Structure 1
Amino acid sequence: MANGSDWYHQRHIAAPAFMGERLKSYAGLMVECTKKMLQSLQNAVESGQTEVEIGEYMTRVSADIISRTEFDSSYEKGKQIFHLLTELQSLCHQATRHLCLPGSRFFPSNYNRQIKSKKMEVDRLLLEIIQSRKDCVEIGRSSSYGNDLLGILVNEMEKKRSDGFNINLQLIMDECKTFFFAGHETTALLLTWTVMLLASNPSWQEKVRAEVNEVCNGETPSIDHLSKFNLLNMVINESLRLYPPATLLPRMAFEDIKLGDLHVPKGLQIWIPVLAIHHSEEIWGKDANEFNPDRFASKPFAPGRHFIPFATGPRNCIGQSFAMMEAKIILAMLISQFSFHISDSYRHAPVVVLTIKPKYGVQVYLKPLNS
């Protein structure tokens, strides 16, 4: 984890990709990826498959969106990178289920060899994409490194370099991996849990559908529509409260701190228990473990203290606006095309594996609304 001036410069390199007009420009791409996913669901239903594991579709569409926003003009190679990163993520999840001995990551085991090999292949592919774009700029075939996330990062890197701050390609490659790990699985899980909650609460599903139909009036959701999805926003926030993307937030004290009677010494690692805070009856009331989006109609809680799905402060999630925009577009399009209710085969078993996952998936019955 970077700190001090290193963190500051890294943050400022990545920030332009998630701000203003640049952020808004991703909406059309998100819509197109969602259309493909909805067509897949339609095909499944038409083939006689009325029950689907919705998490598979949410994982696919979020991967497609992050692939296209990050590597638009190098999409095919980007898909190879994300396939390798998915395998790496799976290997890391396996590691959390085993006893790790000090220094075990240096053992010449098959597991460690797999991780090393996949990391090297990811770096090789990323370097190829970056180098090819740099070559195009140098020979005059292109005036920029691209308008996707990778291009923005390289453009910002060159600006910083001209200002005398040395940034190497490894930092850019690491940022690309961070975008994937931070923005792929977490968004897919947010979507999956939200569909589960709406499928289990048909009255709220109808309310949200009515709102989407009224706001969009038959049109595809646009940037202008998103701020008007008040009920959908409440439902997404309640989903984030019940099933936050990160159950714990690691932090470290960089100086001695006095909090009331509590002394926090410099260097102490602190873990903020997000899941416990989000389910605290003292904060949220006796129904803290129940689905009640109405609690977000007003704000009796303190944002940044009691509700922290994207962390808070200067180290909050840089992509939170991207994630919320993506979730609103996908859910609005899904709910306007399909009705869904929870399957009899669904087993509610949230399990914490870095994030909160449905252990057995989320099975729902789908019904096209235009049939």
Structure 2
Amino acid sequence: MLFSIVFALVVGLFVHLYVSLVFKPQNIRKILRQQGLNGPPPTILVGNLLEIKKSRAAAAEKTLVRHPQSPPLTHNTAAVFPFLENWRNQYGPVYTFSLGKTQIVYVSNPDLVKAITTSTSLDFGRPSYQQKELGPLLGHGILTSNGSVWARQRKIMAPQLFMDKVKGMMSIVTESAFTVVNSWRNKIEANDHGGGLVLDIAVDDYMKRFSGDVISRACFGSSYSKGQEIFLKLGSLQEIISKKTMSIGIPGLRYLPTKSNRKIWELEKEIKGLILKVVKERREGDGYEKDLLQKLLEGAKSDYANSDEIDRFIVDNCRNIYLAGFETSAVSASWCLMLLASNPEWQTCVRDEVVEVCQGRIPDPDMLRKMKKLNMVIQETMRLYPPAPTLSREALKDINIGGIHVPRGVGLWTMVSTLHTDTDLWGPDALEFKPQRFENGIAGACKSPNSYMPFGFGPRVCIGQHLAMVELKMLMSLILSSFSFTLSPKYVHSPVMRMMVEPKYGVDILIKKL
């Protein structure tokens, strides 16, 4: 009897694994092939992950690095995804590949991209594997949730980051930007003996401190020092998880008690405890603070039934704010400084605009709005170095996108870096830094405006884009009006993919006080 039960369980488990890992993926690929979509043949369990890992390792060994002494710099961030580019050349602008048992449709056809970016269906959401694999970092926050849960979270969070609310954060952004400028100025003055000192600065840590300070103060108010501790631990967690991205889709790996998994679980627990400690202090206080955390608490109280739901909402979305608002802004600022340092004519042009608009005053929202050339430089920066180089969605039910029947569970990937540098869309100079292309807006710069998406697309476009733009404009305007700068001989141009495309060796510039 016992043997029969065990045998039945073993057979049942085998059948379940076969259906999940073999039959369903094969059936989905058959449906896609019947529509003319082909791609690299996958391996059972791992799909194309081994091929992806091998391609990335080979690319890392022969990464093209250019020193500033050997111009021009090549701004081709799509090259950090060599496997996607190789498959695109082999199978065309729309093809399939596999991450473990998960089937992906890669899309770089502008017409199909438009169909994807204009879809408003709640059945077309964030990939479920992201919620599983990135759960310790993002939880069930606005970046990973779907359907009514996502709609509820957006309803609470989005109004707190509308432009009128961002204007109320201007003092925070300004003070944080001045911290960077004053630290550079003080370093120069402390070492300058009348010779016009040129200081070699590694900007990346300064950009992270600036962005982290803004988000910590905006989110946690007077408790921002605790916010910084939370973000520091989130940074450590993000670094560990970014090294595991190539194992996405392989069943069960995230449950194994490996050294990295144990560290992930430990950090996740610590971060949750720190956030809940701040939440508890707020509940026990008089609620006078008007920071983002207080607004989220108030909004959550009216939409969630109990304290556990509110706590989960706050913990998960504080983690989401970190990833979406801290790291992306810091990396974008580093790239922007690199591009201005290597293009002195545009640096001078934008500096003249800042001086003319501000007339020696501290920039306010109206002044920032008038800085058209600075805006063009930032747009061009995010075209060449988009904060999210790939955007992915999943069919939560069987759906039709641009005439393609997409079975439930299939992911759709749009390679932003490829679209942003497509010569058919942007012209033969697509890999060059030319902010003037945005002189007449996005529609005047690109043949397919839907293909420009530095902040995502559709209903799920980044809710923090207004704050991000204000941060970048304020910081760049204050730096430009205080210093002139060029690329340091230390700088090595080598974009690398971690959670986003970052300068592998950082950005070093030579600055001189004006």
Q: Distance in 2 between matches of 1:13 and 1:351?
A: 35
Deviation for aligned residue 1:99: 9.1
Match of 1:153 among 292, 296, 301: 296
Whichever residue aligns with residue 262 of structure 1, its letter is I
1:338 deviates by: 0.7
Residue 241 of structure 1: aligned partner? 383
Matches for 1:91-240 after TM superposition, within 5 Å: 91-96=240-245, 102-136=251-285, 142=286, 144=287, 146-161=289-304, 167-240=309-382
SS at match of 1:179: helix
Question: Structure 1 99/17 Cα, relative in aligned 2: closer, same or farther at 3 Å?
Answer: closer
User: Mapping of 1:1-371 within 5 angstroms?
Assistant: 1-48=144-191, 50-96=199-245, 102-136=251-285, 142=286, 144=287, 146-161=289-304, 167-259=309-401, 261-298=403-440, 299-300=443-444, 301=446, 305-369=450-514
Change (3 A) 1:128 1:273: same
Secondary structure of the residue aligned to 2:433 is coil
Give the Å deviation of 1:98.
7.2
Preserved CA contact (<8 Å) 1:247 1:354: no
Paired residues of 1:278 and 1:307 also in contact (CA < 8 A):
yes
Instruction: Please tell me whether Structure 1 or Structure 2 has the larger radius of gyration of its CA atoms.
Output: 2
Counterpart residue identity of residue 153, structure 2? Q
- Confirm or deny: 8 A CA contact 1:55 1:189 kept in the other structure: yes
CA contact (8 A) 2:380 2:438 kept: yes
* Cα 1:303–1:218 shift into 2, 3 Å: farther
Q: Deviations over 1:340-364 (max 9, x none)?
A: 0111221111112221111111111
Q: State the secondary structure of the residue aligned to 2:491.
A: coil
In structure 2, runs of 5+ residues without a counterpart are 1-143, 192-197
How many angstroms apart in 2 are the aligned matches of 1:105 and 1:158? Answer: 33
**What CA deviation, in whole Å up to 9, does each residue of 1:59-94 have, x standing for no partner?**
111111111111112122112111111111121223
Give secondary structure in 2 for the equivalent of 1:267: coil
User: What secondary structure sits across from 1:219 in the alignment?
Assistant: coil
**Per the alignment, do residues 318 and 304 of structure 1 end up closer, same or farther by CA in structure 2, a change over 3 Å counting?**
farther
| Identity among equivalent pairs (%) | 40
- Secondary structure of 2:243's counterpart equals helix
SS in 1 for 2:319: helix
**Which deviates more, 247-256 or 354-363?**
247-256
TM-score for the superposition, normalised by structure 1: 0.92
CA distance in 2 between counterparts of 1:69 and 1:56 reads 20
Q: Is the 8 A contact 1:145 1:152 kept in 2?
A: no
Deviation digits for residues 115-159 of structure 1, max 9, x if unmatched? 1111111111111111111122xxxxx2x3631111110010112
Measured in 1, the distance between the counterparts of 2:414 and 2:402 equals: 18
SS of 2:502's partner is strand
Query: Contact 2:426/2:447 (CA < 8 Å) preserved in 1?
Result: no
Preserved contact between residue 301 and residue 310 of structure 2 (Cα < 8 Å): no
Moved more, 96-105 or 297-306: 96-105
The whole-number CA distance in structure 2 between the counterparts of 1:199 and 1:251 is 36
Distance 1:126 1:214, change over 3 A: same
1:118 match: secondary structure: helix
Q: Across the two proteins, how many residue pairs are aligned to each other?
A: 362
> Alpha carbons of 1:166 and 1:97: their partners in 2 closer, same or farther (altered >3 Å)?
closer
Question: Is the Cα–Cα contact under 8 Å of residues 252 and 268 in structure 1 kept in the other structure?
Answer: yes
Q: Tell me, what secondary structure is at the counterpart of 1:50?
A: strand
